[in-house]
Amino acid sequence: MKSISLLILGLSASLSAAAVPPPGADGKYTISAPGIRAQFIPFAAAITNLFVLDKNGIERDIILGHDSPSDYSADPGTHMGAIPGRYANRIGNAQFTLDGVTYHTPQNDGSNTLHSGPNGWGNRTFEVVAVSDNSITFGIHDPAFSTGMPGSIDANVTYTLTEKTWKIKIHALSPEARTPLMLTQHTYWNLDAFANPETDLIWNHTYYTPYSKRLLAPDPNMVPTGEITTIPQGDINDFWSAPKQLGTNLLTPGWVGNCGTGSGCEGYNNCWLVDKSPRIAKPVATLSSDWSGIKMEIYTGQAAVQLYSCYWMPGTTPIKSTQGGEGAAGNGLIKSGGCVALEAQDWNDGINHPEWGRNQFYGPGDDYNWEATYKFGLL
Ligand SMILES: *[C@@H]1O[C@H](CO)[C@@H](O)[C@H](O)[C@H]1NC(C)=O
Ligand SMILES: *[C@@H]1O[C@H](CO)[C@@H](O)[C@H](O)[C@H]1NC(C)=O
Ligand SMILES: *[C@@H]1O[C@H](CO)[C@@H](O)[C@H](O)[C@H]1NC(C)=O
């Protein structure tokens, strides 16, 4: 009997191995469509490389990442290309109350929780559920209380490429109990792929968010106070009145501390609300660079976009070999201001602000769906 069941186990293992091909020799899965090619790894369901053509027809890898998959598990806190979860961004005071019970989450950002703490999805290896020429699906089973939150979560992240387009779909279920659920995709962009001889920073990238006239007011440690700020035209945080270069306000009073007076963070790490009817089929955000001529449009039904201009990048991580590696334009290291993360998500820490009326607790019978589409073109 024992040998028969071993035989059956062996068969099913080889069947599932046949269904999901192994990654390439570089440890990454590669998918492609006309005008776009991307690579992924199971660690954090991360995108590692994204190639599109610049205005001269040169293929550029326009996202941050590492050459080797093992570099990701050595550096999970940066969340390069990752899916943070089950609750992205900060949980104020590392606690929340649900149905009369107060739950505690890990303190990994002062007294707060960031990206669900050390055991969040950004530090977990996903299963490869399916792969085709232009699509890959990763799955995760997140047990109850793995990050202090009740109930298990099952989620699939599907990345699909079509012509010059990257689409992301996340489906998640919480079959056992109500629990916080708020996801995002955490890619860092440098649309010049670190090849611009003038600068390896993103201050000359142009950003435009026509539907984002409101911002969650942050406390000194970037936890929302609950207040919602209307952004005046011409303000540091105004990207709604017209497209603006990210570095336009570098010397404006208030730039230092704009992303945290407690830390003196310079630039952006803020949560802009998206006040757009889902029926309007327009991008919620557009990022472009004159130098490469590459333009990216983000389409999503998510109610906010966090923009982080990489103040905390320590200048010690090498850029990828696909971007020139060490010794490239600049010095080949990712510097403060060398990238920008654009995280489509719900309102930060909504689980601690019932007055906002966000629906961020999911339980049995609820479907969580997250979608975003990135379209690439030229200026
Ligand atoms: C990632 O998880 C490992 C255990 O799997 C843990 O030892 C490590 O501290 C975690 N890293 C971070 C940055 O949270
Ligand atoms: C994930 O995909 C697998 C394979 O298609 C499916 O069996 C499973 O139900 C999916 N789970 C979720 C949460 O969508
Ligand atoms: C690049 O950004 C800097 C800082 O905002 C600005 O002074 C400069 O004029 C910009 N250069 C171009 C070519 O747009």
Residue ID of nearest Cα to ligand 1 atom 13: 77
pLDDT tens-place string over residues 196-236: 999 999 999 999 999 999 999 999 999 999 999 999 999 99
Instruction: Collect all residues with Cβ–Cβ distance below 8 Å to 25 and sequence separation of at least 6.
Output: none
User: Cα 356 to chain center, whole Å?
Assistant: 23
User: Mind listing the pLDDT tens digit for each residue in 18-30?
Assistant: 478 899 999 999 9
What's the CA gap between 186 and 164, in Å, rounded? Answer: 20
Note the pTM of the prediction, 2 decimals.
0.94
Task: Report the separation in Å between the CA atom of 175 and the middle of ligand 2, taken as the mean of its atom positions.
Answer: 13
Domains and CATH numbers, the chain: 29-378 (2.70.98.10)
Distances from the Cα of 95 to the Cαs of 54, 143, 227, 349, in angstroms?
A: 45, 18, 19, 10
β-strand partners of 82 = 186
pLDDT in tens, 349-362: 999 999 999 999 99
Mapped onto helix, strand or coil, the DSSP state of residue 347 is: coil
**Does ligand 3 lie within 6 Å of residue 199's CB atom?**
no
Identify the CA nearest to 165 among candidates 297, 346, 62. Answer: 297
| 3-class state of residue 49 by DSSP | strand
Q: Answer yes or no: is pLDDT of 333 > 60.
A: yes
CA gap 19, 2 in Å, rounded: 26
Report which protein residue has its CA nearest ligand 3's atom 12: 204
Long-range contacts of residues 250-257, Cβ cutoff 8 Å, at least 24 apart: 250/203
Q: Is 266 a catalytic residue?
A: no
For ligand 3, say whether the CB of 68 is within 6 Å of any of its atoms.
no
Task: Dig out the tokens for 185 from the structure.
Answer: 């995709």
Catalytic residue, candidates 205, 297, 343, 353: 343
Atom of ligand 3 nearest to the CA of 247: 5
Do residues 84 and 117 make contact, with C-beta atoms less than 8 angstroms apart?
no
Average pLDDT over residues 178-183: 98
Nearest-angstrom CA–CA distance, 29 and 161: 13
Tell me the three state secondary structure of residue 238: coil
Question: Quick check: CB of 250 below 6 Å from ligand 3?
Answer: yes
The average confidence (pLDDT) of the chain is: 94
